Amino acid sequence: MIESEGITENVKAWRTDVVARIINALGLETVMFEGADPAVFECYIKNYGNEVNLFVDHSQIVQLEALRSGIWGTKSLAAWLRRVFGSPMPPEDSEEPPALPSPP
């Protein structure tokens, strides 16, 4: 399990390069990343798909799984899920997902 400290927590800019290097070295199926808040787990899902292994607080499990299934999220995420996974959600727009978000 990879903690978010130093990657998406307490940093000026998210270290997505570190995440990519870990996944390239170990494989997506063998690692789990901490998803400290919804913006973080949305970023992981957008970049690595619904099957990315995420450790979230127990209070965020429903939100994470709703995001994975396409029934929760921003309009840009909804469009992205429809395009990539063929989600049955009604079309909202064809807006491209934004660039990786900056840390709060």
The predicted structure's pLDDT at residue 100: 52
Cα separations in angstroms, 54 against 64, 75, 83:
9, 22, 22
Q: Which domain covers residue 68, as residue numbers?
A: 1-104
The predicted structure's pLDDT at residue 90: 44
Q: How many CA atoms within 13 Å lie on the side-chain side of 85?
A: 19
With 60 as the cut, is the pLDDT of residue 101 above it? no
Inter-residue long-range contacts of 30-37, CB under 8 Å, 24+ positions, other chains counted = 31/1, 31/2, 32/1, 32/2, 33/1, 33/2, 33/4, 33/7, 34/1, 34/2, 34/3, 34/4, 35/4, 35/60, 35/64, 36/4, 36/8, 36/9
pTM (2 decimals)?
0.70
* Cα–Cα dist 24/17, whole Å: 10
The pLDDT tens digits for 51-98 are 899 999 999 998 888 888 777 766 666 666 666 666 544 444 444 444
A 10 A CB-CB count for 66 gives 12
The predicted structure's pLDDT at residue 2: 92
Based on the structure, what is the number of domains in the chain? 1
The pLDDT tens digits for 8-57 are 999 999 999 999 999 999 999 999 999 988 889 888 988 888 889 999 99
Q: Do residues 104 and 39 touch, judged by C-beta distance below 8 A?
A: yes
The predicted structure's pLDDT at residue 98: 45
